[in-house]
Structure 1
Amino acid sequence: MAIYSIGDVAERCGINPVTLRAWQRRYGLLKPQRTEGGHRQFDDEDVQRIEEIKRWMESGVPVGKVRALLDGENVRVHDGWTTLQEELMSVLRHARPSKLRAKVAAIGRENPIDALIDHVYMPVRQRLGLDQNTARTMCSLLDGVLIDYVAFCLTGVRKKAGKDALLIGWGAEDRTRIWLEAWRLSQSGWRIDVLAEPLDILRPELFPGQQLFVWTEKKMTRRQLEQLEQWQQLGFSITPHGN
């Protein structure tokens, strides 16, 4: 039977080790064996269980109800992502940066990054962006905290073995989204740096030999696709991300 370390499982399943520890300690979702030195050891059954947990959560089940579902119990499942959105909105209404930072860090430890971006942070930012007054201010507060947290996470990833890359926003306006997409890429083994200011004109020749990712916010135009193909033919390692 194959045995995996928490780092191996995190890379294989696309889940941060901090999240795996939270699933074990706080929610009792995992029961890995331990070495004599106290290190967690996972087998193939553990990996299958982690994948099942991911599927439940991506379908909208809150992490607190996953264990009952795994045990075959009948539970009333509501949209867990909507609950997290409302919890985040509640913290934002108090306009306390310290409490907001704590909330962002807590849900970041317990939930898959892809799901958080797509089902919590982007919907909340879209709701706040519809208001011209107070909600816009709250959105700016949230964006600052998100960028701060993502930068902290990216710094941690850079301390580990991995592949270096630079993420560039191309013709985009949403600066915070660039950081969120960098966070997403970091879960695939990339040690990401971010060109924080989106560009209208790319200059890949300024970054020779580097792996570049470009994010466009909207679907790439025909002109952008043609330009990307030309750069690739010239030997630049440049790859579209997301759209």
Structure 2
Amino acid sequence: MTEPVVSIIPEEGGYSIQAVSERCGVNPVTLRAWERRYGLLKPSRTAKGHRRYSEAQLLRVQAVVQWLEKGVPIRQVQALLDSASAGTEPTPEPVWQKAREQALEALESLNLRRLEQQLNGLIADYGHARVIADFSDPLREQLALSPSLSLQSSLLHSLLMQKWSGKALSLSPGRRHSGWVLVPLGDPLAALELAMVLNAPLWCLDQPVDVDALCQRFASQPRFGVIWIADALPAAAQRARWLPDDKMEFPAFIWGPLAQQLAAGSPGLTVLEGNRVEIAETLQQHNLESLS
């Protein structure tokens, strides 16, 4: 995974957990789990109890990320970091394959409580971006291939909608603060999944809105940008209402499998390319607070 280009300055006693999160692309919740559950990190504390990470700890976080990207289970990373064998290449376990098999068993028995517990554990250990890319995306694709598993597919979709919606709500900016507006053109789950990876101030809608309404909102409260998530083609009349036909005063992006096709008729849109993590890195370069 390419690291975000973020300039961070050490605070007194080291880097804050937010600074490390931005530099390494790891959610603060996951950093705390690595510390508490696995002993992978040992940050110091300020007088007020805030975590501070040294340069060595920051490099350790990056090393953990590298091992996880190679398919090493989180429970094995401690030994690799602390032993002389840290330079060797272990044989990765099929972590995500096993996780998906367990999820299928839970879905086949309609045991959503068990599946939610599994999902919570994976998020704590690996973070939303990796769970979505390596667990829920391929699991949904696998279920979609078999009509006989349509019930299980719908149950999984409902569970993910509920889980991600709650998290997305917590990301809503405060009054008069800046943030991204995520507008789905199709399945609202696609917008929620992008919201989980962005993990930044945002409003995640569950349906399209008239572009005129967004323009009116920007006039009264600037400092926001809009991202349309295109995984379905709207009808001509809907497209005229929902998508801009000219350059916008606010940052206007479109992303998804149908982004290029829709942007061809909407010159005011800039197409975003790449996976969710790459999109998050691109959007970090935009200072919405500077808009007026």
Question: Does the alignment reach a TM-score above 0.5?
Answer: yes
Confirm whether residue 175 of structure 1 aligns to residue 188 of structure 2: yes
Which of 113, 132, 142 is residue 98 of structure 1 equivalent to? Answer: 113
Residues 58 and 115 in structure 1, CA contact (< 8 A), matched pair in contact too:
no
1:219 aligned partner, one-letter code: P
Structure 1 pair 150–116 and aligned structure 2 pair: CA distance change class (3 A): same
In the TM superposition, residue 159 of structure 1 has moved relative to its aligned partner by 6.2
Give the structure-1-normalised TM-score: 0.81
Equivalenced residue count is: 228
Residues 214 and 241 in structure 1, CA contact (< 8 A), matched pair in contact too:
no
Q: Secondary structure at the match of 2:166?
A: helix
Which of 131, 152, 165 is residue 166 of structure 2 equivalent to? Answer: 152
Residues 169 and 195 in structure 1, CA contact (< 8 A), matched pair in contact too:
yes
Alpha-carbon distance between aligned partners in 1 of 2:105 and 2:49, rounded to the nearest angstrom: 39
Residues 32 and 42 in structure 1, CA contact (< 8 A), matched pair in contact too:
yes
Gaps of 5+ in 1: 233-237
Structure 1 pair 221–28 and aligned structure 2 pair: CA distance change class (3 A): closer
Aligned to 2:154: 140
Runs of 4+ in 1 over 6 A off after TM superposition: 159-162
TM-superposition CA deviations, 1:80-124 (whole Å, max 9, x none): 222222232233233122222222222111113222111111001
Give the structure-2-normalised TM-score: 0.69
Which of 127, 131, 138 is residue 123 of structure 1 equivalent to? Answer: 138
Q: Secondary structure at the match of 2:264?
A: helix
Rg comparison, structure with higher value: 2
Aligned to 2:54: 43
Residues 167 and 215 in structure 1, CA contact (< 8 A), matched pair in contact too:
yes
Alpha-carbon distance between aligned partners in 2 of 1:180 and 1:50, rounded to the nearest angstrom: 24
Instruction: Quote the RMSD (CA, aligned, Å).
Output: 2.7
In the TM superposition, residue 29 of structure 1 has moved relative to its aligned partner by 1.1
1:183 aligned partner, one-letter code: M
Structure 1 pair 160–9 and aligned structure 2 pair: CA distance change class (3 A): farther
Which of 7, 21, 24 is residue 10 of structure 1 equivalent to? Answer: 21
Confirm whether residue 191 of structure 1 aligns to residue 201 of structure 2: yes
Which of 226, 240, 243 is residue 212 of structure 1 equivalent to? Answer: 226
Confirm whether residue 81 of structure 1 aligns to residue 67 of structure 2: no
TM-superposition CA deviations, 1:110-140 (whole Å, max 9, x none): 113222111111001111111212x211121
1:185 aligned partner, one-letter code: L
